[in-house]
Amino acid sequence: MNKTSAKLILSHSQVSEMVMKLYKLTPSVIRDLPSYDDQNFHLSVTEGGDYILKIINIEDSKNPALIQVQTHAMTILHQNGLPVQTVLPTTTGQLMSLEDIESFPMMEHPELSVLQRDEFKWSMSNVPMLEEYIYLMDGDPIQEVMKSVIQGYKTSVVPARASFHLGINHGDLNDLNVLVQPDENDGYKISGILDFGGMSSGHCVYDLAITIMYLMIEHPKPIEVGGPVLAGWESVLPLNKAERHTLYLLVLSRFCQSLVYARYSVLLQPENEEYLMITSKRGFYILRHLWELGQTQVERVWFQSADQYCDRK
C-alpha cells in the first residue's frame, strides 16, 4: 500500500470505542480536524478536559521509531518551558498504541506511482526535485518563476549549504502549527507549537525560511514579516554570511514547494481541497511579488527592519 491510500478514515463511533479502550475516557464531543496524511480529532470527554487524538497513517505507523522521536522531542521541549503538547499515556502506560483497525482508505489516484509519492518530501534539500512536478503548473505563468527559483537554488544555495548551521528542525512552522493568544500588552504570545511530524536533522536556516514564508500568507503587507522574525531568530542564532545571502531564495523555494505540493495533494485528496489549498489563496501572488521585487530590494527591507527592531529593544 502506498501513501495515496495510507490515510485512515475512522468513524466517530470507532474513535469513541478506541478512546474508551485505550484511555478509559468517554468522548462527549468529537470534532474532525483537517490534515494531510493523518486523521486528527478534537475530543471533549465526560471525565473533564479536551484532547487531540491523532490516527497516524499506515505507512508512518510502520516506523515506530519516528513517532518515538517526535514524542521525545515534545517532552524535552515541554520540560524546558516551551508551549508544546504532551502525550497522554494509555491505561497500560504506553505513549502510543498500534491497533488493527478496519477503515475506509482515502481514494487512490492511479496515475501517481508509489515511487512518486515516496519521493515527494518537504525537505528543503530536495527543492531541485520539484522540476519533476513542474508539469502540475502547466498553463500557469507562475511556472516560469518557479523554474527560475529552482535554478537559483541549485546555483546559489546548494554550494553554500556546507556553511549553514546544523541542528534539529521542526520542519513546518506554519500559521496553522503556531498558536497564539492575547497577552497583557494588547499583543499576542505563542501559546502552542504543533505538529512535529516534519522533524529532521539538517540546516537550521530552513526553519527560519519556512516560518517567514508561512507568516507572509497571513500578513496584509507580506514583505514586512521578514524583519521581526529575523530579529527574533538572530537574538538566539545569528545568521552567517552564507545564510543571509541565501535566505531570500530559501523563502521563495518554500513557496514553490508548498504551492506545487498543494496542487499535487489535491489530486490525491480532492475532497480535502479547501484545506490543502489554504496557502495557495495568496501564495501565488506573494511569490510573484517577491520575485518581481528582486533579492536586493527584499533583503534591504528584511535586514534593515531587523536592525531597527533590535535597536528598539
CA distance 64 to 53: 17
CA distance 69 to 67: 5
Question: With contact defined as beta carbons under 8 Å apart, do 119 and 129 qualify?
Answer: yes
14's grid cell: 470507532
Q: Give the strand pairing for 188-193 and 178-182.
A: antiparallel
Any residues with CB less than 8 A from the CB of 105 and at least 6 apart, and which? 1, 5, 6, 7, 8, 9
Q: Which of 170, 115, 75, 137 is nearest to 284 (CA)?
A: 137
Among candidate residues 172, 183, 186, 195, the one labeled active-site is 172
Beta strands in the chain (DSSP E): 27-33, 39-45, 50-55, 166-169, 178-182, 188-193, 200-203
Region label for 146, one of left (φ > 0), alpha (ψ between -120 and 50) or beta (otherwise)? alpha
> Which residues lie across from 104 on neighbouring strands?
none
Q: Which of 57, 48, 40, 45 is nearest to 98 (CA)?
A: 57
172 as an active site residue: the answer is: yes
Any residues with CB less than 8 A from the CB of 293 and at least 6 apart, and which? 223
CA distance 11 to 246: 46
313's grid cell: 529593544
Q: Which of 108, 94, 3 is nearest to 57 (CA)?
A: 3
> Which residues lie across from 32 on neighbouring strands?
41
Active site residues: 172
